[in-house]
Structure 1
Amino acid sequence: MYQICNDRQAKLPLFKDIIGDVLIELAEQDPRVMVFDADLANASGLSRFGKRFPDRLFDCGIQEANMVGMAASASDAGAIPFAHTFAAFAARKCIDQVFLAACYADMDLKLIGSDPGITAATNGGSHQAMEDMGIFMGLNNITLLEPSDGIQYEWMLRTIKDTRGVFYLRTNRKNERQLYQKDAQFTLGKGNVLREGTDATIIASGIEVYEALDAADLLAKEGIEVRVVDMFCWRPIDRELVAESAQKTGAIVTAENHVVATGLGSAVAHVVAEECPVPMGYIGVQERYGEVGSIPYLLKTFGMDAASIAEKVRQTIARKR
């Protein structure tokens, strides 16, 4: 089980600062590292990369699909391309290029979609990518990641740089809390147990990991002990951990900043149905589009806050035989 960092007063670097710092360092070490952006370098934190390496940052303008095609072509020429745009555009506008130019062609592409789901906040429903992971979930030859804090995000950037293949990494641009100790180690395709329990398991990702931990605290006051899992890798999913959690606790609730029908809940349900059927509950976006609002407001409005997760756990436990 991972040791959690509980210092909530620490001054944390923004995710957009982390990507700038890490990619500059990686580019200094490896001339193959290139960055492609869709007119969002200032917003994404990549403008500093462009100042340091003006010949290795390509601003493709508001042409996201062309950006992915260019990045995939750079891979074919021997580069290690990182491409960034908002998550709403990375999925909706680029699916054909990701499929054909990257996955089908077996290229080396690191696609980053920022501000997914409700983390787009006041940008509203048109920019709140509730379905991006689901769009990519059906592709072969792609790894889908979502970091829960800056420690994990930095590890992901370094790891995917040195791991050939197509990756989609969805992340917000801020960093509200630190979850992991600085020396934490992770493994692609493996989830992390953050808290042990025997009554149910909450499998969460991204910002929902914090809500899941807070929900576990609420439930503990009632004598309900839940296991909390950070499933930061959606594809390939950690089948062994999902099955173990189902067998150990007899109930599973998933929590995601995404449409439930095609996201983490769906992926977990496939494993549970095949390996160890138990009652399941789902926290996430249900049959609706986004709206303008702050993240705390949207968490409550969409039923994705800690109180909603705790209630879903109670309901799911009640269905155990």
Structure 2
Amino acid sequence: MSTVTASKGAALKGAASKLKTSAMIASFADPGQKTSSAPFGHALVKAAEADPRIVGLTADLGKYTDMHIFAKAFPERFFQMGMAEQLLFGAAAGLAETGLIPFASTYSVFAARRAYDFLCLDIAEPNLNVNIVGGLPGLTTGYGPSHQATEDMAIFRGMPNLTIVDPCDSVDIEQAVPQLAASDGPTYLRLLRGNVPTVLDEYDYTFELGKAKVLRGGNDVVFVSSGLMTMRALQAAEALAAHKVDVAVVHAPTIKPFDAATVLAELNTDRLAVTLENHSVVGGLFETVASAVVTAGLGKRVVPVALPDEFLDAGALPTLHERYGLSVQRIVAKVLAELG
């Protein structure tokens, strides 16, 4: 082997080692953080033990959406549909028509981009109890635009009858699953899978479908957040305390229907208002909150922390979160700049 070839090989090996966290299913948990393994899969098994109508389907992604845990527990109630998302949701609609309660999993990009018409006309229009489980929402993979569902909520918010849930952690997911099963009509869950952080157990919190919750009070700033960004909001609030900035955090896991009453009650003050979401600045939590503010006539400025309206880079998740403003450090810097 030539020296040049050996050097190239060493460089490639070094680059590969640096990019380990850019794997398709990389965890966004911080080093040493308390986590729960596959909370969705275990919660679905528990719910299915109590309700024999619950069935599970996936489009060749059981392992990567934690649906494999359900498949092992209830093989006779599990359906592997192959790499055919439109078939997946068409079949789920048929099962719901017979009185069953399907949970159908795939990646969020495939549900939102490939199968929208099937979801809309087969499931949402007849208002069937089909629970769509979307893996890799927002910036939870480093694999680039083909797998980064940065616009999924924007796509789905305009679909009538569809409930949208953006959970923060394992607590949200475990408590949401039985409520989604019991809810009439279709739901879309932005799935956090694998080793999922456990955060909300320290805040006297319980998930209630359709409700936002105030997790902590604060006199200077109010954060309204959803998804994994509630974890970051809480971390940023702690970091801002060192700068003598007192931050309240409101967690809004249900994006649609939106709990405008709770959120607007917190925004109707002279505190700096900031929304935080793992989604494009277009069509997600920020625009949901801004719409509620304008409709209520509050005349309140709202500052977004969100992904930009562009296709994102591939790379390691910590690098991407820092680059696109989702890291705690970037949040703190933005708030301090706004406060002047």
Say whether the fold is shared (TM-score over 0.5): yes
Measured in 1, the distance between the counterparts of 2:265 and 2:336 equals: 20
Measured in 2, the distance between the counterparts of 1:68 and 1:316 equals: 45
Q: How far is 1:316 from its partner?
A: 4.0
The counterpart of 1:218, out of the listed 216, 236, 239, is 239
The counterpart of 1:173, out of the listed 145, 169, 193, is 193
Q: How far is 1:44 from its partner?
A: 2.0
- C-alpha distance 211-58 of structure 1, shift in aligned 2 (>3 A): same
Measured in 1, the distance between the counterparts of 2:339 and 2:160 equals: 35
Contact 2:36 2:196 in 1 (8 A): no
Measured in 2, the distance between the counterparts of 1:82 and 1:196 equals: 36
The counterpart of 1:12, out of the listed 31, 35, 41, is 35
User: Counterpart in 2 of 1:149?
Assistant: 169
Measured in 2, the distance between the counterparts of 1:175 and 1:316 equals: 34
Q: How far is 1:11 from its partner?
A: 4.8
User: Which secondary structure does the structure 2 equivalent of 1:92 belong to?
Assistant: helix
Deviations, residues 197-230 of structure 1 (Å, cap 9, x unaligned) = 1222111111111221222223222222121111
Alignment pair present for 1:307 and 2:329: yes
User: Which secondary structure does the structure 1 equivalent of 2:268 belong to?
Assistant: helix
Measured in 1, the distance between the counterparts of 2:69 and 2:233 equals: 35
Uncovered stretches (5+) of structure 1, i.e. residues with no partner: 1-7
Contact 1:197 1:249 in 2 (8 A): no
Question: How high is the sequence identity, in percent, across the aligned residues?
Answer: 33
Measured in 2, the distance between the counterparts of 1:249 and 1:294 equals: 38
Q: How many pairs are equivalent?
A: 308
User: Which secondary structure does the structure 2 equivalent of 1:296 belong to?
Assistant: helix
Superposition TM-score, scaled by structure 1 size: 0.90
Deviations, residues 29-78 of structure 1 (Å, cap 9, x unaligned) = 22211111000112222223223322211111111111111101110111
Alignment pair present for 1:74 and 2:95: yes
The counterpart of 2:63, out of the listed 31, 42, 45, is 42
Alignment pair present for 1:115 and 2:136: yes
Uncovered stretches (5+) of structure 2, i.e. residues with no partner: 1-30
Trace 1:1-321 onto structure 2 (pairs within 5 A).
11-14=34-37, 17-121=38-142, 123-181=143-201, 184-275=205-296, 276-317=298-339
RMSD: 1.9
Q: Quick check: which has more Rg, 1 or 2?
A: 2
- C-alpha distance 11-262 of structure 1, shift in aligned 2 (>3 A): closer
Contact 1:243 1:271 in 2 (8 A): yes
Counterpart residue identity of residue 36, structure 2: P
Contact 2:169 2:192 in 1 (8 A): no
Measured in 1, the distance between the counterparts of 2:36 and 2:258 equals: 28
